[in-house]
Amino acid sequence: MKPVEGNKSTREVKVVTRVLAVNERMAEQNRRRFAEKGVFVINVMSSPGSGKTTTLQKTLERIMPGIRAAVIVGDVSTTHDADRLAVTGAPVVQVNTDAFGGDCHLAAHVIEKAADAIDLDAIDLLIIENVGNLVCPAEFDIGEDARVVVLSVTEGEDKPVKYPTMFRLCDAALLNKIDLLPHLDYDKAQAVGYIQQVHPGMPIFEISARSGEGLEAWINWLREKIRVKLAARSK
Amino acid sequence: MHEMGIALQIIDIATASIPPDMRSARVERVNLKIGKLAAVVADSLRFCFDIVSKDTPLAGAELAIEETPVVARCKDCDARWTIVEPVFTCTACQSGALEILSGRELDIVSIEIAQEESHETGGGQ
């Protein structure tokens, strides 16, 4: 082509790639690694203050040592949650996302590194406590088998419809702090209705991590998932 | 909140997609497809992109975002419709067994590269 001074044109280059393809590949790698070891992995998400850490603490107390569990805790900063969970005797790996740029979620490569610090042969269950946030963690697959969202009756009833992506993505919802219901104007039926509207058929467990009420049904659900995963491995 | 990370990924993917014979070229526009269910705020993404694209072949590039609607198909009665409210039950038969056909995209479709035809190769970046 004859060069013409100042003549500009544009050329369109097709790309057609998922923007988060790198994360998705890494998540698949994590998933294969966990499957080889027969480890069931849950990604626990919620808004800040829903009682996620207390729920996990109480869950661990009830399932260990029968089920061997480890925890990866993501927080923007501090090790407070990890310290609380370590009391249960489960190995706990703390990830402070500010070392990775103040992230509001855990990404697959962070889990890959954190998992290096855990003896995967010695556990049946890996709990990943994600950063408290109902938006961003939904966008990042980390290689988990199931996603669980915790919400509490001290939040708005309409959380599920405000964050439909999160609630659609999850496999179970824990409605926490039900021991406080007598003191609140919270419309539980409406909250449950919203969850069902966004994700029909998703199991909803009404619990109080504080009093222990309702934990049994949630733990049975979790036990069944772990059993299925282990069975799939020994095939 | 995670738009910064997404902006960085866009720059990585777009830079790697520039053909070898155009390495000195400047990307003028990035065409993106983002679903309404993807947790991405377009304004935040543009803001972050403008910051992190400095000193890259994408500096000053426009992010052209096509927002895709949430389209569902009912697995029971095969109805298809666009979801506008956060209600995920079939509009025809009330079933909750849905397949989401679109709305979760976060894709780079293409990049548009400026070609300066007056010189074979540009200097610098």
Q: How far off is chain B from A106, nearest CA to CA, in Å?
A: 10
Per-residue model confidence as pLDDT tens digits over B50-64? 999 999 999 999 999
Q: How far off is chain A from B117, nearest CA to CA, in Å?
A: 5
DSSP state of A19: T
Select the residue from A5, A15, A22 to test the B interface by mutation, using most B Cβ atoms within 10 A.
Answer: A15
* Average pLDDT score, chain B: 90
Q: Where is average pLDDT lowest: A7-11, A35-39, A174-178, B21-25?
A: A7-11
Specify the pLDDT at position A98.
Answer: 62
- Whole-number Cα distances in Å, B96 to A173, A195, A200: 16, 12, 5
Of B86, B106, B115, the CB nearest to A8: B115
Radius of gyration of chain A measured on its C-alpha atoms: 20
| Residue A193: closest C-alpha in chain B | B87
* Chain B interface includes A234 (CB < 8 A): no
> How big is the CA angle at A146 (ends A138 and A108), to the nearest 5 degrees?
55
* Residues sharing a CB contact under 8 Å with residue A184, sequence separation 6 or more, in sequence order: A153, A154
φ and ψ at residue A53, rounded to 5 degrees: -65, -45
Specify the pLDDT at position A104.
Answer: 74
CB contact under 8 A, A197 and B86: yes
Structure tokens of B108?
């780079």
* Chain B interface includes A183 (CB < 8 A): no
For chain A, positions 44-73, list CB contacts with chain B under 8 A: none
ipTM score of complex: 0.80
**Interatomic CA distance for residues A174 and B124, integer angstroms:** 56
- Of chain A, the percentage scoring pLDDT greater than 90 comes to 74
CB contact under 8 A, A164 and B108: no
Q: Do the Cβ atoms of A132 and A46 come closer than 8 Å?
A: yes
Q: Where is average pLDDT lowest: A137-141, B6-10, B76-80?
A: A137-141
Of A11, A139, A197, the CB nearest to B87: A197
Tokens 């079933």 map to which residue? B95
Grouping H, G, I as helix, E, B as strand and the rest as coil, residue A147 is strand
Write down the number of H helices and E strands in chain A.
8, 8
Q: Which domains does chain B carry?
A: 3-68+103-114 (3.30.2320.50)
Contacts with A103 from chain B: Cβ below 8 Å? 2, 5
Of A1, A16, A17, the CB nearest to B117: A1
> How big is the CA angle at A69 (ends A68 and A73), to the nearest 5 degrees?
170
Residue A147 has pLDDT above 90, yes or no: yes
Write down the number of H helices and E strands in chain B.
2, 6
Q: Do the Cβ atoms of B124 and B23 come closer than 8 Å?
A: no
Residue A11 has pLDDT above 80, yes or no: yes
CB contact under 8 A, A140 and B117: no
Specify the pLDDT at position B80.
Answer: 97
Structure tokens of A203?
């199991």
Residue B1 has pLDDT above 80, yes or no: no
- Whole-number Cα distances in Å, A220 to A48, A85, A162, A178: 26, 21, 29, 19
Of A133, A198, A199, the CB nearest to B1: A133
Contacts with A97 from chain B: Cβ below 8 Å? none
Residues A58-66: what's their mean pLDDT? 96
The per-residue b/e assignment along A191-224, b for 16 or more CB within 10 angstroms, e otherwise, is: bbebbbbbbbebebbbbbbeeeebbeebbebbbe
Residue A235 has pLDDT above 70, yes or no: no
* Chain B interface includes A96 (CB < 8 A): no
Specify the pLDDT at position A78.
Answer: 77
**Interatomic CA distance for residues A201 and A171, integer angstroms:** 9
* Chain B interface includes A161 (CB < 8 A): yes
Read off the amino acid at residue B112: E
- Smallest CA-to-CA distance from B11 within B65, B60, B46, B49 is with B49
* Average pLDDT score, chain A: 91
Per-residue model confidence as pLDDT tens digits over A74-133? 887 778 888 888 889 999 999 877 644 456 788 898 999 999 999 999 999 999 999 888
> How big is the CA angle at B52 (ends B11 and B32), to the nearest 5 degrees?
40
Specify the pLDDT at position B22.
Answer: 85
Residue A8 has pLDDT above 90, yes or no: no
Question: Chain A to chain B, count of Cβ pairs less than 8 Å apart?
Answer: 125
Residues A193-213: what's their mean pLDDT? 97
Of A1, A103, A161, the CB nearest to B2: A103
Q: How far off is chain B from A119, nearest CA to CA, in Å?
A: 30
Residue A231 has pLDDT above 90, yes or no: no
- Of chain A, the percentage scoring pLDDT greater than 70 comes to 93
Specify the pLDDT at position B123.
Answer: 44
Per-residue model confidence as pLDDT tens digits over B88-123? 999 999 999 999 999 999 999 999 999 865 454 444
Specify the pLDDT at position A7.
Answer: 55
Per-residue model confidence as pLDDT tens digits over A148-196? 999 999 999 999 999 999 999 999 999 999 999 999 999 999 999 999 9
* Chain B interface includes A13 (CB < 8 A): yes
Q: Do the Cβ atoms of B110 and B31 come closer than 8 Å?
A: yes
CB contact under 8 A, A168 and B39: no
**Interatomic CA distance for residues A170 and A148, integer angstroms:** 5
Specify the pLDDT at position A162.
Answer: 93
Name the CATH superfamily, with its identifier, for domain A39-234. P-loop containing nucleotide triphosphate hydrolases (3.40.50.300)
